[in-house]
Amino acid sequence: MTTSQKHNSRQHPASFRDPSGFLFSRDKVLYRQVNRKYEQEYARLMESGLYDRLVKTRLLIPHVEADQVPAESDLAHKIIQPECVPFISYPYEWSFGQLKDAALATLSIQRRALKAGMSLKDASAYNIQFVRGKATLIDTLSFEIYEEGMPWVAYRQFCQHFLAPLALMALRDIRLNQLLRVYIDGVPLDLASELLPLKTRFNFGLLTHIHLHAGAQKRYSGVEVKSRLATMNKQAMTGLIESLDSTVRKLEWKPGGTEWGNYYDITNYSDAAFEHKKQLVREWAARVQPSVVWDLGANNGVFSRLAGEAGALVVSSDMDPAAVEQNYHQVRGEKTENILPLLIDLTNPSPSMGWANEERDSFGARGPADMALALALIHHLAISNNVPLLQVADFFGKIGKWLVIEFVPKADSQVQKLLVSREDIFPDYTRAGFEAAFRQRFRIAEAVNVRESERVLYLMESL
Amino acid sequence: MHFAPLPYLDPGSGSFLIQLLIAALLGLGVAVRASWGRIKGWFGIKSQPKADEDDDESET
């Protein structure tokens, strides 16, 4: 572990690549050490007006300079305290629209930086977070001083982290965003080039930034580039950024055709049942007053919005890319600040990964939440995925103190659908069996029969 | 490759070379558009300013 324990501080396990500085936590507060090596760049960022412009447009995380003992005094120039990001999410958990907005935010930052005589020295998708609904750069030390003639050092990273996965998602298969979970430094361009359909060779942006780019990487690998040749003027830099921007903007993906895209139009319960569920979720959220809610299997986020009415941050996760995309479009359209749609498959949630398995946290490690919602979910876990009810209770017990969970009985047509072509090996999947299992981990505070339905909604408190 | 300062991430030789080539081409485009704007200006046609980062409230 590359942690520093000096002065009661712990270096963040994902903050080791850039010698300009690093993140550390002390007394549960996150700080960033700016190293002396980065003094000049930091001064330019702050004094050129670039920082103010980026913070004003919410493209960069705001920070204050903190009067703290440095974690590594020999290297330190300053300690800054960035605004806290309440939930960190990763590109392989984002919908198409989220990754696209993160890409466009990166390019927008680069254009503004160039105007201030600076340039992004990295274009990692992991440097972008959704802060109050908007794609925001969280790495204050990503800027270098731009001198005319310099190429964009982050070009390769931008193509791998953003352009290649977006093109694959839009033009090959939406599920290919999961390649980002395997390739932590973005999708290798030769792989993207192989997977993309032939027609992309007739798209100037994709032809150049992916196909020819991949070819050049292969052909010139390890070749030394003479510095007198390796220059490009500012007009060329502007042209490059504009081209990346228009290539990204033209990539579109419309939800539809996936499993849950229109789930609420095909449910089996009445309007009265739906309204009753809404009323209960609203009431219980008001009673519990959570700060952080995890809505698991959130579909397009209808119940997330109710749970977040009092201002809680709601992580609104679902395994269906169409549902998450719809959810995100609504967040954007309504400028909602406290709903974070995420693509999570609960039967295989994001693991901890990267260097030493510590760079990116698992989904569970980013908890606990104050309250979890598991509506119309239990049958997918217990029947589709064969998870014993006690293990489901264990899982939810670790997520948060309060749980709102819906029991969907076997007689329900949605459950019948799951059993239609398989043996019913679930004798305990009954209301009594469910309650017996969950009582081992929770206190049942409320159990209400949902009107005009056979379903039961519970409010439970973890033991 | 020699730049001051050297980047902390390897930008990749192939990525560098293709970038120079593409950017040179695209830079020409930018130059042509800029001159076209000037030529139109002589005839009193104003180009629409692009909704971009001059507008600080613009969303990405």
Would residue A321 count as lying in a domain?
yes
Residue A116 and residue A242 in one domain: yes
Burial class (CB in 10 A: 0-12, 13-18, 19+), A411: exposed
Would residue A445 count as lying in a domain?
yes
CB pairs under 8 A between A and B: 135
Mean pLDDT of A303-331: 95
Asked if residue A326 has pLDDT above 70, the reply is yes
At B60 the pLDDT is 45
Would residue A67 count as lying in a domain?
yes
Do the beta carbons of residue A178 and residue A168 sit within 8 Å?
A: no
At A179 the pLDDT is 98
Which of A217, A220, A242 has its CB closest to that of B26? A242
Q: Does B51 touch chain A (CB under 8 A)?
A: no
Q: Does A144 touch chain B (CB under 8 A)?
A: yes
At A265 the pLDDT is 59
Q: Which pLDDT band, with edges at 50, 70 and 90, does A223 fall under?
A: confident
Residue A273 and residue A167 in one domain: no
A17:B9 CB<8 A: yes
Would residue A1 count as lying in a domain?
no
Q: How far is residue A300's CA from residue A281's CA, in Å, rounded to a whole number? A: 16
Which of B19, B29, B30 has its CB closest to that of A151? B19
At A263 the pLDDT is 54
Which of A153, A227, A236 has its CB closest to that of B2? A227
DSSP element (H, E) containing B24: helix B13-42
A242:B24 CB<8 A: no
Q: At what angle do helices A96-115 and A321-333 cross, to 10 degrees?
A: 50
Concatenating the DSSP letter of every residue in A359-404 gives SB--TGGG--EEEEEETT-HHIIIIIT---HHHHHHHHHHHEEEEE
From B34's Cα to the closest Cα of chain A, the distance in A is: 10
At A11 the pLDDT is 86
Q: Report chain B residues whose CB lies below 8 A from the CB of A59.
A: 60
Share of chain A above pLDDT 70, in %: 96
At A18 the pLDDT is 87
What letter does residue A207 receive in the DSSP assignment? I
Residue A30 and residue A145 in one domain: no
Burial class (CB in 10 A: 0-12, 13-18, 19+), A198: exposed
Q: How far is residue A290's CA from residue A370's CA, in Å, rounded to a whole number? A: 5
Beta-strand relationship, A21-26 and A134-137: unpaired
Q: Does A182 touch chain B (CB under 8 A)?
A: no
Lowest mean pLDDT among A80-84, A146-150, A205-209, A286-290: A146-150
From A168's Cα to the closest Cα of chain B, the distance in A is: 20
At B36 the pLDDT is 83
Q: Does B54 touch chain A (CB under 8 A)?
A: no
Asked if residue A346 has pLDDT above 70, the reply is yes
ipTM above 0.85, yes or no: no
Residues 56-115 of A with CB under 8 A from B: 56-57, 59, 101, 104-105, 107-108, 111-112, 115
Residue A293 and residue A396 in one domain: yes
B13:A223 CB<8 A: yes
Mean pLDDT of A313-323: 96
Would residue A255 count as lying in a domain?
no
Q: Report chain A residues whose CB lies below 8 A from the CB of B53.
A: 53, 57, 108, 111-112, 115
Q: Report chain A residues whose CB lies below 8 A from the CB of B56.
A: 53, 56-57
Residue A71 and residue A102 in one domain: no
Q: Which of A220, A250, A280 is the last residue of a domain?
A: A250
At B56 the pLDDT is 45
At B10 the pLDDT is 78
Residue A319 and residue A435 in one domain: yes
Which of B2, B9, B30 has its CB closest to that of A239? B30
Residue A126 and residue A207 in one domain: yes
Which of A222, A232, A235 has its CB closest to that of B20? A232
Q: Report chain A residues whose CB lies below 8 A from the CB of B54.
A: none
At A225 the pLDDT is 76
From A17's Cα to the closest Cα of chain B, the distance in A is: 8
At B54 the pLDDT is 47
Q: Does B36 touch chain A (CB under 8 A)?
A: no
Lowest mean pLDDT among A113-127, A320-334, A391-405, B17-31: B17-31
Residue A24 and residue A147 in one domain: no
At B57 the pLDDT is 44
From A57's Cα to the closest Cα of chain B, the distance in A is: 6
Number of independent structural domains in chain A: 3
At B55 the pLDDT is 46
Q: How far is residue A313's CA from residue A460's CA, in Å, rounded to a whole number? A: 20
Do the beta carbons of residue A255 and residue A326 sit within 8 Å?
A: yes
At A17 the pLDDT is 85
Q: What are phi and psi of B52, to 5 degrees?
A: -140, -155
Q: Does A237 touch chain B (CB under 8 A)?
A: yes
In chain B, the residue whose alpha carbon lies closest to the alpha carbon of A150 is B3
Would residue A47 count as lying in a domain?
no
A243:B26 CB<8 A: yes
Burial class (CB in 10 A: 0-12, 13-18, 19+), A257: exposed
Q: Does B57 touch chain A (CB under 8 A)?
A: yes
Asked if residue A368 has pLDDT above 90, the reply is yes
Residue A127 and residue A75 in one domain: no
Mean pLDDT of A420-444: 95
Question: What is the pTM (predicted TM-score) of this model?
Answer: 0.93
At A189 the pLDDT is 97
Q: Would you write out chain B's pLDDT as a tens digit for each of its 60 residues?
A: 445 567 777 778 899 899 999 999 998 888 888 888 888 888 877 666 555 444 444 444
Q: Does B32 touch chain A (CB under 8 A)?
A: no
Residue A28 and residue A142 in one domain: no
Mean pLDDT of A167-184: 97
Residue A415 and residue A279 in one domain: yes
A225:B17 CB<8 A: yes
From A258's Cα to the closest Cα of chain B, the distance in A is: 27
Q: Does A36 touch chain B (CB under 8 A)?
A: no
Q: How far is residue A53's CA from residue B53's CA, in Å, rounded to a whole number? A: 9
Q: Which of A11-15, A16-20, A82-86 ranks highest by mean pLDDT?
A: A82-86
Q: Which of A250, A273, A293 is the last residue of a domain?
A: A250
Residue A151 and residue A197 in one domain: yes
A235:B56 CB<8 A: no
Q: How far is residue A54's CA from residue A127's CA, in Å, rounded to a whole number? A: 15
CATH value at residue A405 = 3.40.50.150
Q: Which pLDDT band, with edges at 50, 70 and 90, does A267 fall under?
A: low
Q: Which pLDDT band, with edges at 50, 70 and 90, does A3 fall under?
A: very low
From A439's Cα to the closest Cα of chain B, the distance in A is: 48
Q: Which pLDDT band, with edges at 50, 70 and 90, does A2 fall under?
A: very low
Q: Which of A228, A250, A272 is the last residue of a domain?
A: A250
From A365's Cα to the closest Cα of chain B, the distance in A is: 29
Asked if residue A259 has pLDDT above 70, the reply is no
At A222 the pLDDT is 80
Share the mean pLDDT of chain A.
93
Share of chain A above pLDDT 90, in %: 85
Q: pLDDT (tens digit, 9 = 90+) per residue, A43-91?
A: 999 999 999 999 999 999 999 999 988 888 889 999 999 999 999 999 9
Domain of A18, in residue numbers = 6-40+59-82
Q: Which of B30, B54, B56 to mutate to test the interface with A (most CBs of A within 10 A)?
A: B30
